Amino acid sequence: MNPIPVNEPLLDGNEKRYLFECIETGWISSEGQFVKQFEEQLAARVGRKYGIAVSNGSVALDVAVAALGIGSGDEVILPTFTIISCAAAIVRVGAVPVVVDCDAQTWNMDVSQIEAKITSRTKAIMVVHTYGLPVDMEPVLTLAGKYGLHIIEDAAEMHGQTYKGSPCGSFGTISTFSFYPNKHITTGEGGMLVTNDEKLAEHCRSLRNLCFQPQKRFIHKELGWNFRMTNLQAALGVAQLERLEEFVARKHHMGQRYTELLADIPSLELPIPKTDYAENIYWVYGLVLKDEVPFDAEEAMRRLAKYKIGTRPFFWPMHEQPVLQKMGLFDGVSYPVAERIARRGFYIPSGMALTDEQICRVAQVVAEVFK
C-alpha cells in the first residue's frame, strides 16, 4: 500500500504559468507585481483595505505585535492551545502572554475566561481560529470595546471561513494569515497581515522591510526585519487564491466524508460539523481519543504509521512549554481541556490533494485500529 501523507498541496491551476512569467521577466524579488496583486486580492477577499505580504505566518504575528507598539510589561491574552508562534511574538517584545483554556467541543479559546484575565496592563487579545471552526468573536469584540483592547486575529487556518457571515481575517485591529503548504492556499512559505488602519499598515510595511526610510534609506529610526515575500511566492498565491472557493468546498467535503465513515467508532470524538456561528471547514480533521481508550495520541499515531497513514499531534499547550516555563511563566497553573486534547488528540490526512479513495482507506484503517 502506498503511504498516505498527512498533507499534500494541490498546485494544478495557474501556478506554473505565473511562476514561468516571473522567470521570463526576471521579476523574482519582492519588488515584482504579483506581490502587490496578491496583497490587494487577499485583502479584498476578507474585506480589508490593506494587505502586507511577509515571509510566513509566524513572522506576520511578530510584525503585528510590534506594529501595535506592544512592549515590555504589557500583557496579551491568548489561547493556551495554539502554535508557539503566537506566544513567541508576545515574549520577543518583552510582553507577557496570559492564556485561557479552550472549549472542549470547538477546541477554540474559551471566550468566557477572557474577562477575568484582563488587567490594567492588558493591551490586546490574540484570537486564534483553530482547526476548522472560528473563535466565537462577538463576546471578544464586546470585551475589546469595553476595555479598549486591540484584537490580533490569527486567521492562519481560516482562509475562506466566516463568522456569522463575515470573513475571518476581517475582525479586530489586525489579522494574519499563513500560506504554509498545509493551509487552504499556499505559497510554499508565506504570510500576510491585513488591516483597515492606514498608519498601522504603513508601520507593518516598514517593519517588514528593515525600516528603510523612503528618503534616507540607510538611516534607521527603528529596527525592523527582512520579512519580505518574493514575487515567486506571490505568483503561487495569486494562482491559489483563484481557487479558494473550490478548495474550501473540497475540504468541507473531506470533513463530511470522514464524519460519515467514522461516525460509528465509539472510542473517538470527531470534530463538530458546525456551531451556531459557522460551519466547520476542516482545515485539518482532528480526532480525540475518548477517556476510556487505554492509550494516548502518541500510541494511536504509532499504530496508524504501521499502515503508512500520516498523522500529526495536536498543539501542545503554551502553559506546558519548557521554553516558556524556563522564563518563569505559567508556574503551577492548569488548563484541563487543553491538557486533555493535547494528549489525546491528533489529526489524520487532510491535505488538499487527498482523494476520496484515500479518505476511505484512512477511515478503514482507523476503524480497524480503534474498534
Of 52-60, 259-267, 285-293, 297-305, which segment contacts ligand PLP by CB under 6 A? 52-60
Residue 238 CB, nearest approach to ligand PLP (Å): 18
Going through 67-190 in order, the beta strands assigned E by DSSP cover: 75-79, 96-100, 122-128, 150-154, 162-163, 166-167, 174-178
For residue 84, give every residue at least 6 positions away whose Cβ sits within 8 Å of its Cβ, in sequence order, or none.
Answer: 318, 321, 323
Residue among 15 and 154 whose Cβ is closer to ligand PLP: 154
The answer to whether 156 contacts ligand PLP (rule: CB under 6 A) is: yes
Rounded to an integer, what distance in angstroms lies between the CA atom of residue 173 and that of residue 193? 11
230 binds ligand PLP (CB under 6 A): no
The grid coordinates of residue 259 equal 464524519
Stretch that binds ligand PLP, among 153-161, 242-250, 332-340, 361-369 (CB under 6 A): 153-161
Which residue carries 501595535 as its cell? 68
Residue 128 binds to ligand PLP (criterion: CB under 6 A): yes
Q: Is 108 in the site for ligand PLP (CB under 6 A)?
A: no
Footprint of ligand PLP on 183-202 (CB under 6 A): 191
Which one among 51, 57, 167, 349 touches ligand PLP, defined by CB under 6 A? Answer: 57
Smallest distance from the beta carbon of 162 to ligand PLP, in angstroms?
A: 17
Question: Quick check: 154 binds ligand PLP (CB under 6 A)?
Answer: yes
Using CB under 6 A as the binding rule, whether residue 153 contacts ligand PLP is answered as: no
Q: Does 56 bind ligand PLP (CB under 6 A)?
A: yes
Helix (H, G, I), strand (E, B) or coil at 340: helix
- The residue sitting closest to ligand PLP, measured at its beta carbon, is 57
**Residues whose CB is less than 8 angstroms from the CB of residue 131 and which lie 6 or more positions away in sequence, other chains included:** 107, 157, 271, 282, 283, 284, 286, 347
Q: Is 6 in the site for ligand PLP (CB under 6 A)?
A: no
Contacts of 302 (CB under 8 A, 6+ apart): none
Instruction: For residue 176, give the amino acid letter.
Output: T
Angular region, 159: left φ>0, alpha ψ -120 to 50, beta rest: beta
Touching ligand PLP, residues 66-105 (CB under 6 A): 83, 85
322-331 contact pairs (CB < 8 A, 24+) = 323/84, 324/87, 324/91, 324/97, 327/91, 329/96, 329/97, 330/99
Q: Contact region for ligand PLP (CB under 6 A) — 54-62, 245-253, 288-296, 319-327?
A: 54-62
Sole binder of ligand PLP in the list 157, 193, 206, 301 (CB under 6 A)? 157
Task: Quote the CA–CA distance of 1 and 13 in Å, as a whole number.
Answer: 28
Measured from the CB atom, the residue of 6 and 363 that comes closer to ligand PLP is 6
* Whether the Cβ atoms of residue 98 and residue 115 lie closer than 8 Å to each other: no
Which residues contribute to the site for ligand PLP (CB under 6 A)? 56-58, 83, 85, 128, 154, 156-157, 178, 180, 191
